[in-house]
Chains A and B, each alone.
Chain A
């Protein structure tokens, strides 16, 4: 099993450009999450999904959109990138909302720089 994978690993954008980050998991997990991590800070939840076709806002959703068209994929979109969106983005997935099964498995991260 590959676990959670993210594409791309690195990206540099100019202000106003758009892009999509792809997260894929092969563990048949229901829940998927997108986080951002800024220097010296913990991870903050951007959006999440509790199943195929569903998405919801997390702690810092502004400027981002997401889609979960297939259970194994969770896409994070930036329609008009801003320098404030320079960050490392982590995707995670989990099976169930409670107990050990809620362990979130994280991908390796995508380092995004917006100039």
Chain B
């Protein structure tokens, strides 16, 4: 069963905020939400992650609902270079100190001039 669900595709006008939603209704209390993006089939690149609180860095903001069942990645001023596939990921901890990323199917974001 998929741990995250995302819309298949979205468009955003250049310079506007891009809001990418993700549902993770079965997430457990100690499981983090990560966002990565993949440009032109290159290796995925880290964007941001969070557990309970909202997070912001130089690239984006992450808004996590209070019940943690969904989150939104916000790119505040989208540029053409932000056109990519964005993956919402749940990080599951194993008992033996390992962990695993469960990738969603991704949202293909197209930034339109």
Contact = CB atoms under 8 A, between A and B. Distances in A.
Interface of A: 4, 31, 33, 40-45, 48, 50, 56, 58-59, 88, 90, 92, 97-98, 100, 102-109
Contacts of B101: 33, 43, 45, 104
Given A109-B41, A109-B42, A41 B98 contact: no
A2 to B, nearest CB: 13
B100 A90 contact: no
Nearest to A50: B98
Nearest to B91: A102
Contacts of B103: 42-44
21 contacts: A31-B98, A33-B101, A42-B89, A42-B104, A42-B105, A43-B44, A43-B101, A50-B96, A50-B97, A56-B98, A58-B100, A59-B102, A88-B41, A97-B97, A98-B99, A102-B99, A103-B46, A104-B101, A105-B46, A106-B44, A108-B42
Interface of B: 41-46, 49, 87, 89, 91, 93, 96-106
B105 A97 contact: no
Given A48-B100, A50-B97, A41 B105 contact: yes
Nearest to B44: A106
Closest 3 CB pairs of A and B: A42-B103, A106-B43, A103-B46
A104 B98 contact: no
Contacts of B102: 59
A39 B7 CA distance: 16
Contacts of A107: 43
B87 A90 contact: no
